[in-house]
Amino acid sequence: MTTSNTAKTWRTICDSSDLVKDSGICALIANEQGSDEQIAIFHLPNSEEKIYAVGNYDPIGKANVLYRGIVGCIADEPVVASPLYKQHFSLKTGQCLQEEQSISVYDIRIENEQVQVFY
């Protein structure tokens, strides 16, 4: 993840008060090519890492919808269920639990009540 040539930094996305408990929001981040990437950010205060960031694009349903999925856990793995066809994606690894598909995962933290993504 950190082998890219361009130097990644912690970029501030929003206030921590913008997070919705046990649910997701979506943010746009400009990538190297100058276009925008959609990132789904989930706040699970009762889980180990409390906050997760993954790609918003559902590779199976082929639409930008993952932040609107229900979050929870399957066998202790924190997951989001796609709102389209209900496959589970791990919030830790991005791996789909039902099919050979995966989504990107990003490092994320809350610093001084600011939500920051390492990108």
Nearer to another protein among residue 38 and residue 101 (C-beta): 38
One-character DSSP codes across 19-51: --BTEEEEEEEE-TTS-EEEEEEEE-TTSSSSE
Stretch near another protein under the rule CB under 8 A, chosen from 2-10, 19-27, 99-107:
19-27
How many chain residues interact with another protein (CB under 8 A)?
40
Q: Does 110 bind another protein (CB under 8 A)?
A: no
32 touching another protein, by CB under 8 A: no
Nearer Cβ to another protein, position 54 or 68?
Answer: 68
Q: How far apart are CA 109 and CA 5, in angstroms?
A: 22
Separation CA 63–CA 60 (nearest Å): 8
The type of residue at 9 is T
- The reply on whether position 71 binds another protein by CB under 8 A is yes
Number of Cβ atoms within 10 Å of the Cβ of 51: 19
Q: Would you tell me which residues interact with another protein (CB under 8 A)?
A: 13-14, 18, 20-23, 25-28, 34-36, 38, 41, 44, 46-47, 57, 61-65, 68-76, 78-79, 81, 83-84, 86
